[in-house]
Amino acid sequence: MRTVLKTQPGAAEECERKATPHTAVLDPERRKDTGLKSGLIAAKDALYMAYYQGTIFHGHSSLSSLSLGNEVVFYEVALHGTVYRALARPVPGQSPRIATRDLKYGLARACADALQRDGWLLQAPTAIPNTPRSLVRELQHLTGLTVDDIVDNAYSILNYRRHHGAQYPDTMEPEGYAFKELFLMSVDADGNLTTLYETPSGVNPEKWTNFLRVLDRKECEPLRQYAVSGMAIGEYGEAGAAAIREALLLRDGGLRAAPPASYMPFIERFPLADHQKLERNVGGQRR
């Protein structure tokens, strides 16, 4: 299978349009800093307030638990027995007495042969991936592996930690966190990467974001019933209905002979909560 994501990660261009609410992002807090096409966060934006640990609740920071010491983690991916990370870390050589907010940070990449073991520094990045596609491109750059190898064998450890109180799994291959399932990824016969967190051709972006919202809430049984009803084709079109079925296959193992749902529009069957923002985030809800 040929390698197709050839563009190497680099600094996001200053003139690039930024991600929209319907752009799938790995870190929603950094959406406004993410390039729309590249999926990258420029170094200056990734390092902005790197020292900040978040709001303190009863002595516990909402962000610090996901950090590694005083290093901010942008991604943690296990692939063929190696864990790859991108970090913001204090530049070496600074005084130990310097105030936390005055520390200078730089970007770093690292790899290790275990989930909680020191490893080795790699070439520092010039930008940070914040979409599924840009993360695959980053791993290609680091490993030289093909797209299908990465899709079949990579696991997002950081997503697992976000969903499990910052704790590490007992394995490098935690169930439910393979790229194929978590990011709804596949590779076609020509080697092209597809992620259903991107809007399928011909589908309304807002409608697709709404579908992903429900899928990530793990409401798979009513979604299966909707997927085989005439409403799916009527509201999402043939291509959209097929993409819904494919997403359910990747995330939940298929339709399982679900009975079709009764006639009811998607927004009525799965209503938005009052004042809820319709934004496309990746990886499901915290458990």
Residue 52 — pLDDT band, cuts 50, 70, 90?
low
Q: Is the pLDDT of residue 244 over 90?
A: yes
Average pLDDT over residues 212-241: 89
Residue 53 — pLDDT band, cuts 50, 70, 90?
low
The region of weakest confidence among 10-14, 185-189, 241-245 is 10-14
| pLDDT at 239 (0 to 100) | 93
Average pLDDT over residues 162-173: 92
The region of weakest confidence among 87-91, 139-143, 185-189, 254-258 is 254-258
Of 284, 287, 281, 285, nearest to 24 by C-alpha is 281
Q: Is the pLDDT of residue 60 over 70?
A: no
| pLDDT at 215 (0 to 100) | 92
| pLDDT at 177 (0 to 100) | 95
Q: Where are the alpha helices (DSSP H) in the chain?
A: 43-46, 132-143, 147-153, 157-163, 179-182, 205-216, 220-227, 230-252, 266-269
| pLDDT at 121 (0 to 100) | 94
Q: Is the pLDDT of residue 58 over 90?
A: no
Over residues 247-274, the pLDDT tens digits come to 999 988 766 666 676 778 899 888 988 7
| pLDDT at 243 (0 to 100) | 95
Average pLDDT over residues 167-178: 95
| pLDDT at 56 (0 to 100) | 43
Residue 284 — pLDDT band, cuts 50, 70, 90?
low
Q: Is the pLDDT of residue 287 over 50?
A: no
Over residues 67-122, the pLDDT tens digits come to 777 788 999 999 999 999 999 988 888 778 877 777 888 999 999 999 998 899 99
| pLDDT at 262 (0 to 100) | 73
Per the CB < 8 A criterion, the answer to whether 169 and 157 are in contact is: yes
Average pLDDT over residues 199-219: 92
| pLDDT at 65 (0 to 100) | 56
The DSSP code sequence of 11-70 is PPPTTSPBP-TTS-BS-GGGGGGBBTTT-EEEHHHHSTTTT----EETTEETTGGGSBTT
Q: What is the mean pLDDT of the chain?
A: 86
Q: Which residues contact 185 (CB under 8 A, 6 or more apart)?
A: 132, 136, 151, 179, 193, 194, 195, 196, 250
